[in-house]
């Protein structure tokens, strides 16, 4: 079995433990394949919109796709931040940082699995505690991507079917 390190280690922890599953719209699990989810959401909501001539499905579809993209983008960012924090903590342990040693006097001079879990937990909780406005400000690119993907799918269905 290959030993994971860095970003891959934290991404596998996020996927395996399911720590971010409650993050998708507050209660749903994450879809396994984002591309299939985006295509199916676009097709279903566009069909409803074209059939009943209402705009609510498009807003709902863009929001749902944005939530999904945001969680996956956040997982990547969390994994990168955790890796950086682990390297900094390891460097502090090597250098013998007085504040770190005073805070954790019986801690070994290497990063343990408990340390990794604590680092990951703090990052995940900070993401989950973000308000909708904070999330929109930080992950605005996801809104743009979701809107463009939905618009392309909607226009394709409207003019090709």
Predicted pLDDT at 93: 73
Residue 118: count of CB within 10 angstroms of its CB: 13
Q: Which of 1, 18, 46 lies closest to 120, judged by CA?
A: 18
Predicted pLDDT at 95: 76
Distance set, CA 49 to CA 99, 144, 159 (Å) = 59, 20, 14
Residue 120: count of CB within 10 angstroms of its CB: 22
Q: Which of 13, 28, 32, 30 lies closest to 124, judged by CA?
A: 13
Predicted pLDDT at 41: 93
Distance set, CA 117 to CA 3, 19, 26, 122 (Å) = 17, 11, 22, 9
Tens digit of pLDDT at every position of the chain (161 positions): 456 678 888 888 887 776 666 555 566 677 888 899 999 999 999 999 999 989 899 999 999 999 889 988 999 999 999 999 988 888 877 776 667 666 666 666 677 788 888 889 999 899 888 998 999 999 999 999 999 999 999 999 989 87
The pTM of this model reads 0.80
Predicted pLDDT at 32: 81
């Amino acid at each position: 079995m290959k030993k994971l390190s860095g970003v891959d280690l934290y991404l596998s922890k996020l996927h395996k433990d399911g720590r971010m599953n409650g993050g998708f719209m507050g209660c749903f699990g994450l879809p396994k394949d984002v591309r299939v989810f985006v295509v199916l959401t676009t097709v279903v909501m566009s069909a409803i919109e074209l059939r009943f001539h209402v705009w609510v499905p498009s807003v709902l579809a863009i929001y749902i796709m944005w939530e999904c993209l945001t969680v996956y983008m956040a997982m990547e960012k969390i994994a990168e931040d955790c890796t950086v924090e682990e390297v900094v903590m390891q460097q502090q342990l090597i250098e013998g940082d007085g504040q770190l040693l005073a805070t954790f006097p019986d801690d070994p001079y290497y990063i343990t699995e408990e340390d990794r879990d604590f680092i990951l937990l703090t990052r995940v909780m900070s993401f989950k505690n973000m308000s909708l406005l904070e999330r929109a400000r930080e992950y605005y690119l996801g809104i743009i991507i979701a809107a463009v993907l939905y618009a392309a799918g909607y226009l394709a269905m409207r003019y090709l079917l």
